[in-house]
């Protein structure tokens, strides 16, 4: 209240200035939210890959040798076995050091199903069945009881040989570099990652570790 007893009136200029400041603050907040939307979208739909492009396993033993990663070729037993009424054999199998940026040695292999390198993928697509591997003794658990395997199976489709058909490369990370032997039981898995069948076949990978090879 002023000396003359009247309540001083707020100047129009100060009222307009306060309103402008509030509007500018609202605009900045809205702008920051809109700027975040593309980032949120990309994080939701394009999650970070577990392997960067330069860290991917070699696609063949020959490529592994060229990259200087090949430790040795492997000859798992049995090298031919039955799975879901199909004959499965190893096209090739090798053991390699981790690529730059990766941590663990890898067992890598490609399979033939009914003498075809593309049949494994075709069975996945047509009948929702895929070959899955678990360390023997783990009772089919995804989190393995053993200490040697970091993750039971990771695979990706190799470059398509012809339209609609491609090969699958399997690889298994070995946590302990001095692991000498690995045993994997064969299972059948569907797209929901449910194990639908347990095979009697147990694959044995011997002679993984040799100090001279490391």
33 or 5, which is more confident: 5
Average pLDDT over residues 19-29: 55
Q: Strands 105-113, 80-83: parallel, antiparallel or unpaired by DSSP? A: unpaired
Q: Considering the domain boundaries, does residue 4 fall inside one?
A: no
So what's the pLDDT on residue 174?
Answer: 86
Beta-strand ranges (E) seen in the chain are 70-73, 80-83, 86-96, 105-113, 130-135, 154-157, 168-174, 182-189, 195-205
Neighbouring CB atoms inside 10 A of 110's CB total 20
| pLDDT for res 25 | 54
* Strand order through the sheet with 130-135: 130-135, 182-189, 195-205
Do residues 118 and 165 touch, judged by C-beta distance below 8 A? yes
Beta bridge partners of 202: 185
Our CA angle for 108, 147, 190, nearest 5°, is 55
Taking only the tens place, the pLDDT of each residue in 62-120 is 999 999 999 999 999 999 999 999 999 999 999 999 988 888 888 999 999 999 988 99
Same-domain pairing of 67 and 91: yes
Looking at the structure, do residues 32 and 130 belong to the same domain, yes or no? no
Nearest to 183, CA basis, from 201, 199, 171, 165: 201
Does 13 reside within a domain? yes
Q: Where are the alpha helices (DSSP H) in the chain?
A: 12-45, 61-66, 119-127
pLDDT tens string 139-197: 655 433 333 344 444 445 555 544 556 788 888 888 888 888 999 999 998 888 888 99
Is 199 within the bounds of a domain?
A: yes
How many structural domains is the chain composed of? 2
Residues 120 and 59 in one domain: yes
Cα–Cα distance measured from residue 134 to residue 144, given in angstroms and rounded to the nearest whole number: 8
Q: Domain span at residue 35?
A: 9-47
More confident residue, 129 or 19: 129
Give me the residues paired with residue 77 across strands.
204
């Amino acid at each position: 209240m002023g000396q003359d007893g009247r309540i001083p009136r707020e100047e129009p200029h100060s009222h307009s200035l306060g309103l402008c400041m509030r509007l500018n603050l609202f605009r900045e907040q809205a702008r920051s939210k809109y700027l975040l939307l593309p980032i949120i979208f990309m994080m939701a739909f394009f999650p970070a890959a577990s392997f960067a492009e330069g860290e991917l396993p070699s696609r063949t033993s020959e490529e592994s040798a060229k990259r200087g990663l090949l430790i040795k070729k492997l000859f798992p037993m049995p090298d031919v076995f039955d799975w879901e009424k199909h004959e499965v054999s190893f096209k090739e199998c090798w053991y390699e050091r981790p690529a730059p940026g990766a941590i663990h040695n890898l067992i890598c292999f490609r399979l033939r199903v009914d003498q075809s390198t593309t049949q494994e993928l075709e069975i996945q697509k047509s009948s929702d069945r895929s070959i899955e591997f678990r360390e023997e003794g783990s009772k089919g658990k995804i989190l393995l009881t053993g200490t040697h395997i970091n993750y039971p199976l990771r695979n990706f489709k190799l470059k398509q040989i012809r339209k609609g058909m491609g090969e699958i490369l399997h690889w298994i990370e070995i946590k302990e570099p001095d692991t000498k032997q690995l045993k994997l039981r064969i299972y059948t898995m569907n797209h929901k990652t449910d194990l639908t069948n347990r095979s009697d076949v147990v694959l044995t990978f011997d002679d993984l570790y040799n100090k001279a090879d490391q």
